[in-house]
A and B are shown apart, each in its own frame.
Chain A
Amino acid sequence: MSTTETTRVVITESGRMGRVAYARIAPNEDLVQGVEKMCLAEGFRNAFVRGGLGSLVDASLGTRDGGYQQVSGPAVEVVSIAGEVRSGADGVPVASLAGIVADTDGNVYGGPFLAGWNPVCMTFEVTLEEWIPDGEEPA
């Protein structure tokens, strides 16, 4: 991926785990932005996903060519998910989430969840654990 970022790339980052938060994200909210808003609500700058499960109306998963694969529901169940949230200098949390989804026949698809394109169907449960890099105190 090309980037014009001018921030210093840190390859290893030491730190510790902080607070743990659980949220239930309501229907029609976007999964990725929902996790980001959860971080705004809880004051988490950086976090790892410790667990997540729930359903989406339809899923949109990014593809290598910059397009996306749409998996039609409802409901598309999220059956595996991993990811993290990082905040830049502006303090805006950005979630990067990837996982496996299952359609209404149980067939599976995988990839990154595109922000704004993965509306929750019934509920989404997510547990985040705050990540506090050395030298940064939590907000």
Chain B
Amino acid sequence: MSPTLQSGYHRPRMLRHVGRFSPVRIQSMHYQSGRHIRLLLQPGRSLYDALVRPLQAIGVTSASTTILGGHFDHLEYCVAPPDPSGKAVIAYSSPIDAGASFMVFGNATLGKDMEGRPLVHCHASVRVEDGSVKGGHIVPQASIIGATPISVLVTALEGFELRQAFDDETNIPLLKPFKES
């Protein structure tokens, strides 16, 4: 358990990243309106397929989504400890097997990876098979929707797209907004 601090001299900690500091700190794009979709994640599909395929079918390739609560037959997640190799300040752990789980709440971003394929970046809080509540980076290809469809509110992004691009400062590929190619 982390300590609860009442008072005392303290300041937020910064980290020195591996690459060159970028002067642009907030990369932001907007569109005149959002397009909203209610999506039902289908039982037996991976989270990746259940999110990507139905949205692809209606022409949505960049989106922010809110995943409402629901059961997973199987779920895997990663945590993000310091990177022992030093290539970046942190690196994802090996996947942790949460077993049959209940996703309490999640957010997932849909974009494109560096090869142009659909990419899902999902963080969620989850009640894992042993009953404890955990949280982390969900492995979408390895997490399988349970017997009941799960509702998702999709805010489709139009007028720009999300693409994974190598980020010099952090030395890892990251999703960023770009004008549509």
Interface residues of A (CB under 8 A from B): 17-30, 34, 37-38, 41-42, 50-55, 57-58, 60, 63, 65, 67-75, 77-81, 100-109, 116-119, 121-123, 125, 127, 129
Interface: B66 (CB within 8 A): yes
User: Closest approach, in angstroms, between the C-beta of B79 and any C-beta of chain A?
Assistant: 5
Cβ of A27 and Cβ of B170 under 8 Å apart?
Answer: yes
User: Closest approach, in angstroms, between the C-beta of A33 and any C-beta of chain B?
Assistant: 10
Cβ of B82 and Cβ of A79 under 8 Å apart?
Answer: no
Chain B contacts for A100, CB-based, 8 A: 105, 125, 135
User: Closest approach, in angstroms, between the C-beta of A113 and any C-beta of chain B?
Assistant: 12
* CB nearest to A72 among chain B residues: B2
Complex partner residue of A23 from B28, B34, B89, B125, CB under 8 angstroms: B28
Cβ of B2 and Cβ of A79 under 8 Å apart?
Answer: no
Interface residues of B (CB under 8 A from A): 2-7, 10, 12-15, 17, 22, 24-34, 64-66, 77, 79-82, 88-90, 96, 104-109, 121-125, 133-137, 155, 157, 160, 162, 167, 169-170, 172, 174-177
Known: A106-B136, A127-B157. A53 touches B32 (CB 8 A): no
Cβ of B26 and Cβ of A122 under 8 Å apart?
Answer: no
Cβ of A71 and Cβ of B2 under 8 Å apart?
Answer: yes
Cβ of B134 and Cβ of A108 under 8 Å apart?
Answer: yes
Known: A34-B26, A127-B157. A119 touches B14 (CB 8 A): yes
Cβ of B79 and Cβ of A122 under 8 Å apart?
Answer: no
User: Closest approach, in angstroms, between the C-beta of B131 and any C-beta of chain A?
Assistant: 13
Chain A contacts for B125, CB-based, 8 A: 79-80, 100, 102, 108
Complex partner residue of B32 from A19, A29, A30, A127, CB under 8 angstroms: A19
Complex partner residue of A75 from B12, B77, B80, B133, CB under 8 angstroms: B80
Chain A contacts for B34, CB-based, 8 A: 17, 19-20, 50, 129
Cβ of B12 and Cβ of A122 under 8 Å apart?
Answer: no
Cβ of A122 and Cβ of B90 under 8 Å apart?
Answer: yes
Cβ of B2 and Cβ of A109 under 8 Å apart?
Answer: yes
Cβ of B155 and Cβ of A50 under 8 Å apart?
Answer: yes
- Is chain B's interface secondary structure helix, strand, loop, or mixed overall? strand
Cβ of B13 and Cβ of A119 under 8 Å apart?
Answer: yes
Chain A contacts for B3, CB-based, 8 A: 69-70
Cβ of A77 and Cβ of B136 under 8 Å apart?
Answer: yes
Known: A123-B174, A125-B109. A60 touches B80 (CB 8 A): no
Assembled-state Cα–Cα distance A71/B137 (Å): 17
Cβ of B123 and Cβ of A22 under 8 Å apart?
Answer: no
Assembled-state Cα–Cα distance A74/B83 (Å): 10
Cβ of B64 and Cβ of A77 under 8 Å apart?
Answer: no
Chain A contacts for B28, CB-based, 8 A: 21-24, 38, 41-42
7 sampled A-B residue pairs with Cβ under 8 A: A27-B169, A37-B25, A51-B155, A58-B12, A71-B2, A108-B125, A127-B109
Chain A contacts for B80, CB-based, 8 A: 55, 73-75, 77, 104, 121-122
User: Closest approach, in angstroms, between the C-beta of B39 and any C-beta of chain A?
Assistant: 13
